[in-house]
Structure 1
Amino acid sequence: MPAPDWHHALAAAQFAAARGLWSFPLARSKRPAIPSPHPRDPHCRGACGLLGHGVHDATTDPERLRELFEAAPWATAYGIACGRPPHHLIGLDLDVKHGDDGPANLQALATRHGFDIPPTATVATPSGGLHLWLTASPDTQVTNSAGTVAPGIDVRGTAGYLVGPGSRTEHGVYAFASGADPNTLAPAPENLLALLTPPPAPPVHAPDPEALRAGIRVQTAYVQAVLTGESAKVRAQRQPGRKNRLFASAARLGQLITAGTVPEQLAHDELLTAGLACGLTEAVCERTIRRGFDRGTGHAPRAA
């Protein structure tokens, strides 16, 4: 039979879900309580229908929430998924440890960038920190980060989660902070959102596919086979390991570039296209290909 902490966590999670906050069970470690049904496949986000996808299991449906908790009778806490409707929650985790003072650093950001920190639902953490709950519009995409905005400030956005109030963890109990209204969910100030949302990605300068195919066709059969073979390896690689695979293929082609067998520009363009196709960014592809070519040619690393 589940322990009292399990019943307490379930009741708190159900209360949060009734307020439109998507919840799911956590273990005492603050990690998702239900083991993944396929730990070697990080790409599934719950489409398989099985339980055990962490924040992607989160729900506001009381029956589904109870099903999740019944699958984890060892759960003593719960997580609240950020970025979900209707609130599109953003969490600011303000740490006070390791010499960092998250609340003071947030106030400094507010002064520097001209915004006020609105009164909003706030959770006190066992370490003496605070979780501020803010809301955003549906089209706002806030990425998760740790200490990027300022030391001691972790941001929880899309696909992130906060430990819910009423949770009991190995570090202590999470509870609404004294003096904060749990029912107030304030919109994040625009100037704060500008700090939390990433700038638009620069346009990707992918090689022209027709020119690339034409360039490969005029090579010898051996060169064609090597280029398409290394490209296929990169395209087929799943995370983790995509960058390592691209590096290995670039090093292999770098050896042939040194021998005068493969044109460097053609090898670069083919690997860049393959790296983009497997999900790497252009910047990561360029750095990795350059390092791989340097390894294969035996040259000292070139400047970025």
Structure 2
Amino acid sequence: MATSDRRSATLALAHALSAAERGLPVIPLSASKLPALRSPHRHEPHPVVCHGECGRPGHGVHDASSDPAAVRALFAAAPWATGYGIACGRPPHHLIGVDLDVLHGDAATTATTELRHLALQHLFTLPPTVTVLTPSGGRHLWLTGPPDVVVPNSASRLAPGIDIRGAGGYLVGPGSVTAKGAYRLAPGSEHLDPAPCPRALLDLIAPPTTPSRPHHTPPSPRHGRGLIHFVRSAHEGQRNTRLFWAACRAYENGLGDSLAEALTTAAVHTGLTEHEARTTILSAARLTRNAQPADPPNATASRSDTRP
């Protein structure tokens, strides 16, 4: 290893340990900004989904730790590392990175301008916070989020040139040296702590909370008989529609598997083939997770005009 590379590796470890002392989980990075340790499962014949449960290093951001001994062990296994990554979304800081990227020319200014426009539009103010300057002329803003909100990673979804680093992502830490240059703290932010993410900005970058489904009473055999009768009484032109609706309701109420055969028999009684009936029920089973409660098809009460 060349003297300059050895010095970069030593500095990377020093900076990583300093970040770990502040409770930030870190991993070693190569000069390409990628995790320095390769997957221990890369030679296995079949794809392996492992987030470090095997106990070996090489699982990317899942290796990140703020324990000094663990950090030293990671860097000892990757002596070629010239930088370090800081895992986002992890306690205690639940770090969120706002990456003002460089697209072309003076795009860093453009990304900053886009962020200011968003702040004006959505009525939030960006507080003074840790800011890291990138070799390409961009910058990373460090913010913290609440522990009960999972912020996903995104690229230019918020606005052109603005990427978000959240759960499962990482930020290149200041003091890292990459093939394109060094990352460094912006003047004036050396002694700052990551500031809380403004609520309005958090609402823009975090997915909306999935509304809870209404509480259903325990399914009863009577409800199952009603669905079967509903299918058996279908006329030509409504057989498949009624079967699909009834199967959805059955699966929503936990009766899907137990009623599948009876619903199939009822559908065949109306004139559908067994294959058609089973295909429709299978489609209902697959889609029920995202299906919303619906009115029975051909219901007698019309809701076409609800105005007073």
> Normalising to structure 2: TM-score of the pair?
0.71
The answer for the alignment partner of 1:75 in structure 2 is 81
Q: C-alpha offsets along residues 55-99 of structure 1, whole Å, 9 cap, x if unaligned?
A: 111111111101001111221111001112221111100112236
Corresponding residue for 2:128?
119
C-alpha separation between the residues in 2 aligned to 1:215 and 1:59? 49
* Cα distance in structure 2, aligned partners of 1:25 and 1:42: 22
Please give the per-residue CA displacement for 1:153-190, whole angstroms capped at 9, x wherever unaligned: 11111111100001111121111012323433211111
CA distance in 1, matches of 2:191, 2:58: 29
Share of identical aligned residues, percent?
50
Task: Give me the whole-angstrom Cα distance separating, in 1, the residues matched to 2:260 and 2:273.
Answer: 19
Other-structure match for 2:167: 158
Letter in 1 for 2:102: V
**1:189 partnered with 2:198:** yes
Asked if 1:269 is matched to 2:284, the reply is: yes
1-structure distance, mates of 2:166, 2:88: 5
Is residue 36 of structure 2 the alignment partner of residue 33 of structure 1? yes
* Aligned equivalents of 2:264, 2:194: Cα separation in 1: 62
For 2:185, the equivalent position in structure 1 comes to 176
Letter in 1 for 2:260: G
CA gap 1:25/1:45 in 2 versus in 1, 3 angstroms: same
Indicate if the aligned counterparts of 1:212 and 1:266 stay in contact, CA closer than 8 A.
no
Mapping of residues 121-270 of structure 1, within 5 Å: 121-201=130-210, 207-216=252-261, 219=264, 261-263=275-277, 264-270=279-285
> Displacement of 1:260 after TM fit?
6.8
Larger radius of gyration: 2
CA distance in 2, matches of 1:120, 1:128: 18
CA contact (8 A) 1:97 1:127 kept: no
Aligned pair count reads: 240
In 2, are the aligned partners of 1:144 and 1:160 still within 8 Å (CA)? yes
- C-alpha deviation, 1:208, in angstroms: 4.1
Q: Structure 1 residues 218 and 135 mapped into 2: Cα distance closer, same or farther (>3 Å)? A: closer
Secondary structure of 1:3 counterpart = helix
1:217 deviation in Å? 5.8
- Do 2:88 and 2:97's aligned partners in 1 also have CA atoms closer than 8 Å? yes
Structure 2 portions without partners, runs of 5+? 214-247, 292-308
SS at match of 2:275: coil
Post-superposition offset of 1:44 = 1.6
| Structure 2 match to 1:237 | none
Amino acid at match of 2:34: R
Match of 2:297 in 1: none
Name 2:224's counterpart in structure 1: none
SS at match of 1:97: coil
Cα RMSD (Å): 2.5
Does the 8 Å contact 2:256/2:285 carry over to 1?
no
Shift in Å at residue 102 of structure 1? 1.6
d(CA) in 2 for partners of 1:169, 1:130: 15
Contact 1:79–1:161, Cα closer than 8 Å, also in 2: yes
Residue 50 of structure 1 corresponds to which residue in structure 2?
56
Report deviation, 1:137. Answer: 2.1
Whole-angstrom CA distance in 1 between matches of 2:63 and 2:166: 16
Deviations 1:9-33 (A, max 9, x none): 1111111111111111011111111
Q: Which of the numbers 22, 25, 33 marks the counterpart of 1:22?
A: 25
| Kept after mapping to 2: 8 A contact 1:207/1:269 | no
Specify which of 88, 96, 100 is matched with residue 94 of structure 1: 100
Deviation at 1:210, TM superposition (A): 2.0
Distance 1:203 1:88 in 2: 25
Match of 1:286 in 2: none
- Structure 1 residue identity aligned to 2:275: T
1:202 to partner: Cα distance: 5.0
Q: Secondary structure at the match of 2:34?
A: coil
SS at match of 2:113: helix
Q: What amino acid maps onto 1:211 in structure 2?
A: G
Residue type at the aligned position of 1:116:
T
Distance 1:123 1:142 in 2: 20
Which residue number corresponds to residue 112 of structure 2?
A: 103
Q: Which runs of 5+ in 1 are unaligned?
A: 224-257, 277-281, 284-304
